[in-house]
Structure 1
Amino acid sequence: MMLARFLTREINGSCLLSRVQRRVRSTAACSVEHSEIKNVNNELQYARPTKDIPGPKALPLLGNWFRFIPYIGEYGTYNLATQFRMLRDQYGDIVKLDGIIGRRTSILLFSPELCEKMYRMEGMWPMRISMESMHYYRENRKNIYDGQYGLGTSQGKSWHDFRSKVNPHMMQPRAITPHIAQISEVADEFVEKMRTLRDPKTLELPDNFKNELYKWALESICSIALDFRLGCLKSNLAADSEPQIMINCVHKMFDLMYRLDVLPSMWRLYNTRNLKKFFRVLDTLNGIAIKHVDEARMKLHETTDNDTNSHNRSILQKLLHLDKQMARVMALDMLTAGVDTTGNIAGSLMYYIANNPEKQEKLREEVMSILPDKTSPITYDILIQLRYAKACIKESLRLFPVSIGNLRTMPTDVCIGGYKIPAGINVLACHALITMEPTQFPRPQEYIPERWMRDNTEFPSAKEAHPFAYMPFGFGPRTCAGRRFAEMELETLLLTVIRNFRIEWHHGPLKYESRYINTLASPMRFKLIDL
């Protein structure tokens, strides 16, 4: 996504360097030393200068910020996805966007070939200078992070060291096995709650069902990250309960990150009102989360020491065995990153299933053949048999991705699309727009899970698309570390819901907001008919 670049400005004849610029220089130098980026000197020799990349021209003093003023600028009235679509339509497959207060210059890529080139240039230790407000917060909360800033905001060797410890315990296919039973239990409880939430006459869920999806997501990620049930699915959960406060804080966190890192902001020069609010929100969220992380750590301390079968250990147990501080930071990351994202994806998945009854029946046939008894336990062996269900999730993520795309900060000067991209520049692969191109996915507006099936002969296969067109979880060393757990949560929920209900939708096209992440805007008023 399009993130910030703070430009140097002349003040009293001297150059003011931002905190961000200093970090870019140090992390870029470190990454270059350990990268495997191929020699591109020959390409750079003939590359056109960065200033020639098409894009809205920044005016003297004004820059480009005025173009994004709400209701005034030509892009200001629209959400992020529409802004990017307009820029692509105006300027082509590679677009430069600069001259906006608080944003670093960004290069937007709208073709899979250019995206592939970006990923090929990322090196062994890819940089992603994003979530800069989050990194600033973590640098100022040494009592919590103690120099370990997690996978999202770390760079260079510190990121590599953290990731290399986490990968073996999160990225292996069977890493989800110790958590499936508890996630299945959460899904069963959620289905029962859905029954109680329905209107007795219309059988529709209430307007605020989206908040219930966030509760399910928080309860699921807590059981994974903490080996602990937080109690999010209790009936009549109070507005001031810890689960609801955490959910509200995550919403505010993403909203403020959008205001600080995407919209024009002066927080890098002084502590703005939104930055102070951001710190308060994260302090509240972390205050609750750390309490439960530390309680879980103490509870599992003896078990971790005595359990000799590492395959049966939970993620928290495995990470505690390696590094207690790293386990704490990773648990906090999972709690903050696994609520809005998974909750919104689950809502969109249910929408596409409800809005395509013939696909829903095909899905139900598969689910009932694998799990004929509703009370049968869900296991790893059952999940790996869900071919059509997995295709349904893939197609939903194509139509409703978590974000606009994947970002990399160039570790050295590179050439992309015939243009020179200097080190430290953010480049964004805009997959959300690419996956809607008919040249990549014919009939792109339609929900067609079959395109992901190997034995499909009726619909154009997704295999015909460019390999770098569809990247819902990222690519390479910085691919999403929680991917397998998110997929397991979604598969388990989908299996459980479809086995219990026929889902219907009677309220028009799905609406969503495209900001820092994509967020559901329509009331999730599904009609649930018992089977």
Structure 2
Amino acid sequence: MMRARFLIREINGSHSPWEMLRRARSIATPIEHGETNATNDLQNARSVNDIPGPKALPVLGNWFRFIPYIGEYGNANMITRLRMLREQYGNIVKLDGLLNSRSTVFLFSPELCEKMYRNEGTWPLRQSMECMHYYRTSRKDIYGEMYGLPTSQGKIWHNFRSKVNPYMMQPRMVQAHIAPISKVTSDFVERMRTLKDPKTLELPDNFLNELYKWALESICLIAMNCRLGCLRPNLTADSEPQIMINCVHDMFDLIYRLEILPSLWKVYNTRNLRKFFRVMDTFNEIIGKHIERAETKLRETTDGTDLQDHSVLEKLLRIDKQTAHIMALDMLTGGVDTTGNMAAGLLYYLATNPEKQEKLREEVMSVLPDKTSPVTHNVLSQTKYAKACIKESLRLFPVAIGTLRTVPTDVCLGGYKIPKGYDVLLVHELLTLEPTQFPRPEEYIPERWLRGNTKFPSAKEAHPFSYMPFGFGPRTCIGRRFSEMEVETLVLTVIRNFRIEWHHGPFEYESRFINTVSTPMRLKLVDL
């Protein structure tokens, strides 16, 4: 039962008590009984080759199906492709015969997702971003034998995660950063005032890039206790902050091209692989300078302040220098595009749902009496509707399409034996749009996440494994708490200062390695 108790602890980060209880009950099934059933299932299971899916042709495989204007999936984005696969083949689909990918099984039901999570093991495997792993193994001077959280596996991953978890996942560690992030956000709101057009009151087309600057400034403060100056006016294209943002964009784009699209990078040194190495070297060189400065600052600090008040880098440097360096790099590569797009989606849904925005503003006014009132831990502890707004935004516009796992041992899913080493993608983005799980799925209804809600459809009726915006279990997103705190601080401050409106077409985004907003974020800001 030790495994069951560990999984229950992983769930305790949820905001709503009923959700925690429901999931805990679901997961705390007696393990011995589950193992017996699993053995019987495997003995009676059909072959993995019997799983429905587009059949790979000799030599051509399946990659030709994804060629634009030629293949049946060629002109669709990622999420549309997945929807087409589910409609054609059902809740479990196998896709093989791609140039650069192993065979992958896609899961389109929460029951199948739950069973996969239960069988992911103590050290979940995720054989993704192989180009990133290849890069990191070639840069021993930076990564040694650790490689960081995104690409390491097994005991190496477990040892690294065990070191950093106390400084990334504990709420009290996040609380120490609320005040400085509130200051960054206040500065950003003042910048928003200067960016809006004096006639139309609209923000410029490239406002998403401004959100990336805010996200970079915030995560740098958390990770290294330094301000990069991302919010300075007239920041040039060749400035360090903008270069860093561009590097993160290029990184995700190239990972998509190397890992998802047909590519021969494993066979020879392709142009995209060479560009990927240049991008990562540039990013690591810039960050390396700031890490060294943070180290110097720490050596000069002898004020005896509580460790809780220091940056993540400063805390980890007291334990292990290499772990501190790699974790800071991981935070900065993973905390810009993800948090920036998360914030953009939330602002859009509030702008297009004025009645929800007004309800949120009532809550905000009760905890922030003035426009300049800082966001504090006490404020965040009272803003239940704001948290519901974030949850509902992530349901409609998640950070990624789902969770990838590599099967650690043979497992039976949907009546089929999935052999050890197979990749399985749990497609949560489609599950959150299922009317059987979330009635009126296309509507933005934050109330569905509130306990005691009787007027609107309730999320508590959904299967607990249908909504997983940050993953699940030991390998859940390690930056989740910081990202949620940053976005909530932003939305509280923005809503306290402006009424936001939207007078353009529908929200559009690209589903690649992560979901990225493609609509110009021309929000209208009306001062309160």
Q: TM-score by structure 1 length? A: 0.92
Quote the Cα distance in structure 1 between the aligned partners of 2:430 and 2:411: 24
In structure 2, the residue matched to 1:481 is: 478
In structure 2, the residue matched to 1:394 is: 391
- Partner of 2:176: helix, strand, or coil? helix
Q: Tell whether 2:280 aligns with 1:321.
A: no
Quote the Cα distance in structure 2 between the aligned partners of 1:157 and 1:491: 35
In structure 2, the residue matched to 1:373 is: 370
Match of 2:358 among 356, 361, 364: 361
Q: Tell whether 2:252 aligns with 1:254.
A: yes
- Is the 8 Å Cα contact of residues 225 and 310 (structure 2) preserved in structure 1? no
Quote the Cα distance in structure 2 between the aligned partners of 1:313 and 1:225: 9
Deviation per CA, 1:354-405: give whole Å up to 9, x if none.
0000000000000000111222222111111110000000000000001110
- Partner of 2:318: helix, strand, or coil? helix
Match of 1:452 among 449, 452, 456: 449
CA, structure 1 residues 452+465, in 2 after alignment: closer, same or farther (shift >3 Å)?
A: same
Match of 1:83 among 81, 84, 88: 81
Quote the Cα distance in structure 2 between the aligned partners of 1:301 and 1:414: 51
1:309 Cα offset (Å)? 2.5
Alignment of 1:59-138 (within 5 A): 59-138=57-136
Quote the Cα distance in structure 2 between the aligned partners of 1:134 and 1:250: 13
Q: Which amino acid aligns with 2:334?
A: A
1:295 Cα offset (Å)? 1.1
Alignment of 1:234-313 (within 5 A): 234-303=232-301, 307=304, 309-313=306-310
Q: Which amino acid aligns with 1:348?
A: G
- Is the 8 Å Cα contact of residues 107 and 426 (structure 1) preserved in structure 2? yes
1:315 Cα offset (Å)? 1.8
In structure 1, the residue matched to 2:13 is: none
In structure 2, the residue matched to 1:443 is: 440
Quote the Cα distance in structure 1 between the aligned partners of 2:296 and 2:76: 48
- Is the 8 Å Cα contact of residues 100 and 264 (structure 2) preserved in structure 1? yes
CA, structure 1 residues 319+38, in 2 after alignment: closer, same or farther (shift >3 Å)?
A: farther
Q: Tell whether 2:357 aligns with 1:345.
A: no
Q: Which deviates more, 311-320 or 140-149?
A: 311-320
Q: Which amino acid aligns with 2:308?
A: H
1:306 Cα offset (Å)? 5.7
Quote the Cα distance in structure 1 between the aligned partners of 2:69 and 2:414: 33
Quote the Cα distance in structure 2 between the aligned partners of 1:79 and 1:218: 28
- Is the 8 Å Cα contact of residues 395 and 449 (structure 1) preserved in structure 2? yes
- Is the 8 Å Cα contact of residues 38 and 121 (structure 1) preserved in structure 2? no
In structure 1, the residue matched to 2:504 is: 507
Deviation per CA, 1:310-344: give whole Å up to 9, x if none.
33333222211111110100000011111111111
- Is the 8 Å Cα contact of residues 215 and 233 (structure 1) preserved in structure 2? yes
Quote the Cα distance in structure 2 between the aligned partners of 1:82 and 1:204: 31
In structure 2, the residue matched to 1:170 is: 168
Q: Which amino acid aligns with 2:297?
A: K
Q: Tell whether 2:383 aligns with 1:410.
A: no
Deviation per CA, 1:91-118: give whole Å up to 9, x if none.
0000000011101110000000000011
- Is the 8 Å Cα contact of residues 178 and 314 (structure 1) preserved in structure 2? no
Deviation per CA, 1:227-257: give whole Å up to 9, x if none.
0000000000011000000111111110000
- Is the 8 Å Cα contact of residues 108 and 427 (structure 2) preserved in structure 1? yes
Q: TM-score by structure 2 length? A: 0.92
- Is the 8 Å Cα contact of residues 351 and 502 (structure 2) preserved in structure 1? yes
- Partner of 1:369: helix, strand, or coil? helix
- Is the 8 Å Cα contact of residues 127 and 406 (structure 2) preserved in structure 1? yes
- Is the 8 Å Cα contact of residues 221 and 311 (structure 2) preserved in structure 1? no
Deviation per CA, 1:137-165: give whole Å up to 9, x if none.
00001111111111111100000000011
Q: Tell whether 2:521 aligns with 1:524.
A: yes
Quote the Cα distance in structure 1 between the aligned partners of 2:363 and 2:355: 13
Quote the Cα distance in structure 1 between the aligned partners of 2:325 and 2:108: 38
1:206 Cα offset (Å)? 0.7
Task: Give structure 1 stretches of 5+ with no counterpart.
Answer: 1-34
1:506 Cα offset (Å)? 0.4
Q: CA RMSD in A?
A: 1.3
- Partner of 2:442: helix, strand, or coil? coil
Task: Give structure 2 stretches of 5+ with no counterpart.
Answer: 1-30
Quote the Cα distance in structure 2 between the aligned partners of 1:379 and 1:313: 17
Identity of paired residues, percent?
A: 72
- Partner of 1:231: helix, strand, or coil? coil
Quote the Cα distance in structure 2 between the aligned partners of 1:329 and 1:406: 23
Quote the Cα distance in structure 2 between the aligned partners of 1:228 and 1:311: 16
- Partner of 1:108: helix, strand, or coil? strand
- Is the 8 Å Cα contact of residues 63 and 99 (structure 2) preserved in structure 1? yes
